[in-house]
Each structure stands twice: as structure tokens, then as C-alpha cells.
Structure 1
């Protein structure tokens, strides 16, 4: 009896899939050109099938809002401009696996009743937004209810003068598994904004001179922020109502003002700060309602306050950090904060190391008595360089009775210990 082969249909089906894939790759690009057969991006999106490549030649295109509803790759040649004419959103993507590369988005226009964006991606996933320019936009890139997208190597710049008339550079709401890498962002309300974001990575971006925050995120757990620079923003970086945050290798620089800081941690659980540099900020790190903070191998240099700990900070550790040239290395709002210090280097330490093991033999209390006075009565700062303050410091070292008992480094390092990869910029 002959045996009947039963695998013919699967083989034929697999071959059909391969043929379909090759056919998709063989599809000619839809070319948009001011003088070509297809002269508008709207027309290209209408005729292009799923999987097609749309090439936009150099020029300026003023069209109604573009709706991308099929999986296509949009590529600009010569940085073509999509002009919103200060009146509308420019592009809305609702299809999966869309790529937008090499395009300039310009002149979105301020809106007070909607979060108008140059490029909006919503209710989808797998998008790639790379190598684009966003000039004079309200919101630059806005992702809502998305997963698995990449935003990389874009330049976003705005020239707004007030927070109410400005949107965010890169804005994420309800997203997960997103990578934001190697972007340059300036002049927006917040450079990067996260809300209800999970398991995402922000790395190697430069966010500077934004009106409010270089980075601002809330309710966004299990995210990583690596090797970014946040410079000269209105208030610095704010991290709120979040848990399991890792911030490693970042630079928080030149964030100055009456309410400015390099980094604010507010109502945060289990954050990790490692290998960061806090330089020339009014406050380097401010922790408020923070639990189980682990800060190690960070540099706090040339800040007004290196670290400010509110009394509701609990079970936190500072290990092997460097404190130098700060007006106040560590300050607290009361005697109740529980933060352990171990093996940190302080340029203000006046102890000794008789056994030469690299650790001081005399404990160091980084909270100055004068900092407690300033916290309660700010005008007393005018006495900072006075002989009276010098007497306070000497008295506190001799009889350490007023500064917090819990904030003490029993064996501070005798030389800098943190990784100082970019400290040369401080000189």
C-alpha cells in the first residue's frame, strides 16, 4: 500500500510565504518629488501598499495631516521639510512597524486645547523614528499606547519662551519596551517626558536648556537611564512616584536657580544611582520620600548642596562617592533621615589614616551645623564666609551634638574613589 505524503501543503505554503516576501522586497519605491509623477506625501501614502518604501526628495511639502495606516518605510533624501504651517499636526502613525527616517518636521504651532505633535504614534508598536530633525515644534515626538519602538539620533529644537506655550521634546504616555538613544533635545518644556512607561531605556541623549526639566517621569517603573547629559535646564531632572529606577553614568550639570537641582527623587522606591556626575548645580541630588536609595561611585562637585535629604528618606546608602568643592556636601531637613554613608571621599575631611589602609580612622559628619540653620532661615546664607560660621564648624567637630546622628561616615576614603571619567570638564 502506497503511503500518501502529508507534508506537501506546508512546504507549498512556506514557499508561498518566501515568494511573497521576495515580491515585497522587489516592489519599486514610491518616490515623492516636487516635479515627479507623485508630488505629495498624501498621494504616496494612498498608493503605497503595506511593506512599501516611500522616498521623499528634497523640498518643502505643505499638506494636511498625514495619516500612516499601513506598514511602510518613509525615507527622506536631502532632508525634505514637512511644514505644519503653525496650524496642525504633521504626521500620525497608527500602523505597526513603520519607519520614519531622514525627514525635517517644522512649524507645528502652539495649541492650548490639545497636545499637538509633529509626529504622533498611537495604539501600535514596532516603530522606528531615526535621523530626523524637529524644528520649532510644539510637541516633537509623541508616543501613546505603544510598545517596542525606537527613537534615535534625532535633533529636536524649539524656541518657546514660556512653559504654557511649549510642549515636550519626546513625550511617552502608556508605553513599554521603548528605546530612546542618541538624541539632542533643547528648548522644549521638558526634554523627555514619561508617564506610565515600563521597561524602557534612555541612553546617550543630550537634553539641555529646556524650560522646565531635561527629563521628567512619573509612574514609570523598571526603566534605565544610561550615559545621558542633562545640562542647564530650568529645574533639572525630576523622578516621581516610581520604583526600580536605574540611573547610571549620567551627567547632571549647570542646573541653577532658587528651586533648581540636578536630580530630584520624590516618592521613589529602590532607585539605583551609580557612576553619575553632579556638577555646578544649585542642588546636586535632592531626595524626598525616597526609600532604599543606593548611591555609589557618583561625583558631587562644585554644587551649592551636593546632597539634600528630607527627613522622610529611609534606609538609603551612599557608598564610595566623591564630594568636592560643594558649599554643603550633605544637608538634611531634620534629624530623622536614615541614610548610611560608607567609604566616601570628602575634600572637607580633616581626619588621618594611621594604619594606611586608605580609610580614615576618625568618623566624618558631612552635615554642617550651619546648613541646618540655613534650612530653617535662608537669609542666614549671607554669613556663609564669616568667622561666626567657622566657629560653628569647629564647635560641631568638637561636640557633634546637633547634626543628625545617623548621617556619619565611620571610615571615609582618604582619596577620591568614584569613577571620574568626565571630571576634566570641571576645571
Structure 2
């Protein structure tokens, strides 16, 4: 019988199967590794929906850099920043989340860059210190910038030595509250603004303290904005600067010791109520400058110890009511191009000049104001003077023509001019009179 030659010896078959077994074993190991990596990725994915912790002293469960945490956390997650100083490239947030800083958590720009840019809706930033952006002549470098985002909340943060503090750029429905901002040292040419809103709408700045910036609060091309209960002090230019922004409200703020005071320009339907304008002094300083403002309300404000309390230039159809003008250089200056304004229920106490103007004609109306210089009488006891009051002093008109004459303000000559004008009131503007002055101040004065 012929033997089969295609049958392999058993030992040979086993030898040939060994490579196949090795491959199978390697596949098992690889599969286990993939499953382990998938499990880790799943764990990481689960972590991104919770809290990511940033620590200057890395340990298990934390990351070293804020940018890494922002990249890891999922939408609407929380990034906790522990105490420490963090120096890294500008961090950009592109999804909704909360940044929560512990006391002593500092983002430091090393004098070279912006620190945080928010480019997503519904972002909250709380409890961080932003420091040291450095200055720039080429860009409006901000510690915290919100770009084309809505519904953001920025609260309880500190800003130290920053060019611009908080900059809202085409933002909407954002709330900025209870932050403390201190600008760079130096002149207004090397400083930026504390709270800055550009081309935004329905934004609110409230309960912030802003010191030492070029402009403490700046609104430009902003509609339906609100600034309330803020303190803006020691600004290199304006405590509040406001341009081309309609239907905005400024309520219960304090603007004090600012180099040029407050300027509100080129807008309509503005409400300025319950504010304090204090010690804004200088050759070009105003408690409040209204320029090209129309159909607005200035009510229940206090103007105390300013070079000029309220200056109205090209301001038309405004209601100026129930304000207190106390110990200013000029209480109110109403120029000839300010027309159809109503000034009533205001109190004037201790001003060098209660009212100033650059014309012998008046296109605005004064009525029912209280003047500490009024020397009239009230025979029918109705609380209203029986004779009118001319608040523009003859000497005030002379100063308008020759400002250098102001050095004579406390001289006997000026006292004689005042007496002469009361006896023969023929030179001061006849049209600028309060025909129904109040006999008593309508409220307690500061």
C-alpha cells in the first residue's frame, strides 16, 4: 500500500500553530488596552460635565493651566481656580461655563497681553484677580473682553494695573457687578477705561468701584444700557464718558475727584437720576457736561463742589428737576444753543455763580427753584416768591467776556456790581428769570 505524503507529523502541526496562538494573544492584549483607554476616555468625558480644578501646585485630579481646564470642561461645566499666580497666554472661552476663583487666584499678564476673552454666551466669571496687562498704543488691551456674546455675568473680581478693565464688544444682556478696578498709573494717554461698552445693548454695570482709569465708565454706540450704584473716582479724564448711546440710564452713582468730571454727548432719551457729582475740579472740569443731548431727564442729582455743576451746550428739550447745586463755581451754565429746557424744583446754595450763560437771551425756562440769594417776599404765604429772581449776576457776564476777571470774584467791586444790578436790573438777561422762586428749599441740602 502506498503511504500518504500530505499528512503532517503531529509535532510539526503544533509547531506551525504557535505563531497563530501568539497573534491571538497579542490581539487579546491589544483589545484589553483599547478597552482600558476607552474606559479612561469615558471617565474623562464624565469629568468634563462636572468640575475641573486648576492648581498652581499640580496634584492628582487637577490641571496646571487655565487654558487646559477650559478645553477639558464640557458645556455649562465649572472651572475652579485655586489660589496662586497663573501666567499663560491669553485664554479664550468658546462655550458656556463658570470660572470660579478662590481667594488669591491671580491671572497675570506680565505686562504683555490680554488675560481672558469670552467668545461664548452664558459665561460666568467670579472671584478672580486680573493683573498687569501692560499698556499699548496700538490696541485697546483689556484684562477681560467679551466679544459678540450674550447673557454673561462678571462679578466679584478685582482688576489691578490694567489698561482696560472689562471691555464689552458687541455684547448683549450682560451683567457686570461688584467688581473693583484700578487702572495703570500715569496720564490719560497711557491709561484705558475701566468699564467699557462698545456697540452693545441691554448691558448693566452695577455696584462696581472704578479708580484711576482714563474714563471710569465708557458707553459708546450702546443702547438701553444701565449704570447704577457705581463709584467712579480719580479718573484721568471722565468719571463717565458717554457718546452716541440712546435710551440709557445712569442711576445712583457717585462720580468724584475726576479730572474732567462727566461728559454725556450726542444721544437722546437718557435718564440721569439720583447721582452724586462731587469735587470734579479743573479749568475744563464739569460735574456733568450735556452736549447735543435731547429729550432726556436729569433728576434728583447732587452737584457738590465742582468747577461747573451742570453745563448745557446744544442740549434741547431736557427736564432738569429736583437737583441740588451746592458750593460749585457755577451751579448751571446754559449756553444760547441750549433750547427748550425746563429747569424746575432745583436748589441753589453757596455757588459762586448760580447760573451762567453766553447770551443776554434765554431759550430755556427756570421756574419754582430755590435760590439762597433770593431777597424777595411772599405776602400771600403760598411758599412762592411774589417777585421774580434773576439768577445771572452781572459779574458772571463779565467773566464770560473776560475770564481773567475771575480773580476779582471776592472783591468789593463785585459786591458793588451785585448791589447795582439789584437796584437797576437792566444789563443781565431779562429773559433768564425765575418768575416763581420758592421761598424755602424743598429738601435738606448736603
Q: Same fold per TM (> 0.5)?
A: yes
Q: 1:298 aligns with which of 293, 300, 323?
A: 323
User: Aligned-pair distance for 1:293?
Assistant: 1.6
User: Aligned-pair distance for 1:400?
Assistant: 2.0
Helix, strand or coil: the match of 2:221?
strand
Gaps of at least 5 residues in structure 2 are 1-44
* Mapped contact 1:312–1:337 kept (Cα < 8 A): no
* Mapped contact 2:48–2:74 kept (Cα < 8 A): no
Helix, strand or coil: the match of 1:370?
helix
**CA shift digits 1:10-46 (9 cap, x unpaired):** xxxxxxxxxxxxx999932111112233111011011
Q: Which residue number corresponds to residue 185 of structure 1?
A: 210
Q: Which residue number corresponds to residue 194 of structure 2?
A: 169
Q: Which residue number corresponds to residue 29 of structure 2?
A: none
Pair 1:24–1:292, CA change in 2 (3 A) = farther
- 1:209-220 to structure 2, matched below 5 A, reads 209-220=234-245
Q: Which residue number corresponds to residue 150 of structure 1?
A: 175
Tell me how far apart the structure 2 counterparts of residues 308 and 178 of structure 1 sit (CA, whole Å): 32
User: Aligned-pair distance for 1:385?
Assistant: 2.2
**CA shift digits 1:74-122 (9 cap, x unpaired):** 1111240000000000011100110000000000000010000000001
Q: Which residue number corresponds to residue 422 of structure 2?
A: 397
1:196 aligns with 2:205: no
Q: 1:381 aligns with which of 406, 418, 438?
A: 406
**CA shift digits 1:267-308 (9 cap, x unpaired):** 111121110000000000000000012111100000000001
User: Aligned-pair distance for 1:324?
Assistant: 0.3
Q: 2:164 aligns with which of 123, 132, 139?
A: 139
Tell me how far apart the structure 2 counterparts of residues 339 and 216 of structure 1 sit (CA, whole Å): 25
Helix, strand or coil: the match of 2:92?
strand
Helix, strand or coil: the match of 1:291?
coil
**CA shift digits 1:140-169 (9 cap, x unpaired):** 001111110000000000232111100000
Helix, strand or coil: the match of 1:330?
strand
Pair 1:137–1:26, CA change in 2 (3 A) = closer
Gaps of at least 5 residues in structure 1 are 1-22
Tell me how far apart the structure 2 counterparts of residues 392 and 139 of structure 1 sit (CA, whole Å): 50
1:350 aligns with 2:375: yes
Pair 1:181–1:25, CA change in 2 (3 A) = farther
Q: Choose 1 or 2 for highest CA Rg.
A: 2
Q: 1:31 aligns with which of 21, 33, 53?
A: 53
Tell me how far apart the structure 1 counterparts of residues 248 and 121 of structure 2 sit (CA, whole Å): 23
CA RMSD of aligned residues (A): 1.5
Tell me how far apart the structure 1 counterparts of residues 407 and 125 of structure 2 sit (CA, whole Å): 55
* Mapped contact 1:24–1:51 kept (Cα < 8 A): no
Q: Which residue number corresponds to residue 3 of structure 2?
A: none
1:86 aligns with 2:111: yes
**CA shift digits 1:176-230 (9 cap, x unpaired):** 0001000000000000001100011100000000100000010000000000000
Tell me how far apart the structure 2 counterparts of residues 57 and 248 of structure 1 sit (CA, whole Å): 41
* Mapped contact 1:306–1:323 kept (Cα < 8 A): yes
Q: 1:254 aligns with which of 268, 279, 293?
A: 279
